[in-house]
Copies of this chain bind each other. A is one copy, B any other.
Amino acid sequence: MLNNPLMPVAEALAQICENLPPLPSEPCNVTEARGRYLAEDVVAGLSHPAAHISAMDGYAIAASSGLDAGTVYSVIGEAAAGAPFAGDLGPAEAIRIFTGAYLCTGADTILIQEEIETRPDGQISITQTARAEQFVRPQGLDFSTGNRLLPAGKCLTARDIALAALAGCSTLMVRKRPHIGILSSGDELVSPGERPQTGQLINSNSLFLHQLVTLSGGIAIDLGIIRDTPGALITAVKAAGPLDLLVTTGGASVGDHDHIVSDIMAADGGQIDFWKIAMRPGKPLIFGKIGNTPLLGLPGNPVSAGVCGLVFLQPALRSMLSASLTLAQPSATLATPLPENDRRQDYLRACFITQDDGSLAVTPASQQDSSMLQTFTHADCLIIRPPHAPAAPDGTIVPILPFPAGI
């Protein structure tokens, strides 16, 4: 299985997602559901408005009793939001009504203060001709019982859960959150907060991937750092609780100090599906399984781990969450030329710049070394250069991978 030709990104991604089917669903209180993925459509449990309601403070009348200036009404009661008027409206009768109140039986039109005058006997008189059914919000104007409001597969926003709550849906069926273990590998690594000694490096990968998992709808479980020791991965997997996916960084090559591949092959139920991808950064990439735990092995350089997280881990999470929308494939205009590409798909860190004509164009960072985290952090997007792409003069439209919000 070693020394296979490089695998295209799309093929690798398809294999990963195929092996990570949607998780089961579970109920979730609507108030807690923002960021969760709907497992079923949300259908309105009631109508909004639930009845014809007044859109203004004023007087509710029947238009059939007259709308012309000079028409006189007797005010027989009052209706406020939450306090409907219980009776019916007879001819030439009105009720004082406030915004949001139900119209009583017989009423179909609201007169506002500017359209009436109050007479000394307490009756009201129309001062300017009114329009039938004015200032009324009809029952179901927003939605009616049984309307499909939100589709399965949607990631719920603040607006979505407000709408679902308003529609009486207090519990939503959502996908279980994938439990993603995150494990970094390397003798040189220390955790953030520790002071690195000579030869040591602070492990930023787990921190980045933790946030990527959380913001993508998963639950990140930090499994710490393992050393470059045969068997360390197997021990760590045994110690971890049940996981939907284990993500490792580092140790993914086949050098004397890289043990991820050999550990997987040595483990009970160990299986490697592939491990060399036609991409840059990120050539050494593992997808496999230890026992029942799928494993995605990312390279250890911070930028390689970050890019592979965006390119493989994020879609893997979307697969497990049965996300309905494929992410858009946006593009941008090159501000500087790019040479022709070799057999690996490039993900170039790039920034947007405003050009002389005011349009937005994209410029790759001049250095793309995969250890340079600062250019990754300051990038606005990644330019995707397919394998063997021809030289691209400035002005070429190129596909880009934007960074998701918060990433």
**Which of A's residues lie within 8 Å of B, judged by CB?**
29-31, 34-35, 46, 48-51, 53, 55, 57, 80-84, 98-102, 137, 141-143, 149-150, 157-163, 165-168, 170, 186-189, 192-193, 195-196, 198-205, 207-208, 210-212, 215, 228, 253, 255-257, 300, 302, 306, 367, 369, 371-374, 376-377, 403-407
Contacts and interface: CB of A to CB of B under 8 A. Distances in A.
Contact of A168 (B98, B149, B196): B196
Contact of A166 (B81, B166, B195, B202): B202
Given A51-B198, A81-B186, A162-B205, 17 more contacts: A30-B207, A80-B228, A80-B257, A81-B188, A82-B186, A82-B188, A84-B198, A98-B255, A98-B256, A100-B201, A137-B369, A141-B369, A159-B208, A163-B204, A165-B204, A168-B196, A404-B405
A160 B377 contact: yes
A228 B158 CA distance: 26
B198 A168 contact: no
B406 A35 contact: yes
Contacts of A143: 374
Query: Would you call the interface of chain A mostly helix, strand, loop, or mixed?
Result: loop
A302 to B, nearest CB: 6
A157 B407 contact: yes
B82 A166 contact: no
A160 B376 CA distance: 9
A214 to B, nearest CB: 8
**Most central of A55, A166, A188, A203 by chain B CB within 10 Å:** A166
A17 B173 CA distance: 40
**Most central of A53, A83, A141, A406 by chain B CB within 10 Å:** A406
Contacts of A198: 50-51, 84, 102
A244 B367 CA distance: 45
A374 B150 CA distance: 10
Contacts of A302: 162, 166
Contacts of A57: 253, 255-256
Contacts of A55: 369, 371
A189 B100 CA distance: 11
Contacts of A371: 48-49, 53, 55, 137, 141-142
Nearest to A406: B157
20 contacts: A30-B193, A30-B207, A49-B371, A50-B196, A57-B256, A80-B228, A81-B188, A82-B200, A83-B199, A99-B255, A100-B300, A141-B367, A142-B371, A157-B377, A159-B376, A162-B205, A162-B306, A162-B373, A162-B377, A163-B376
Contacts of A142: 371-374
A215 B406 CA distance: 10
Contact of A207 (B161, B168, B193): B161
B204 A407 contact: no
Contacts of A188: 81-83, 100
A381 to B, nearest CB: 12
B186 A100 contact: yes
A170 B369 CA distance: 25
Contact of A407 (B83, B158, B306): B158
Given A57-B253, A199-B83, A201-B50, A141 B372 contact: yes
B406 A34 contact: yes
Contacts of A81: 186-188, 199, 201, 228, 257
A405 B403 contact: no
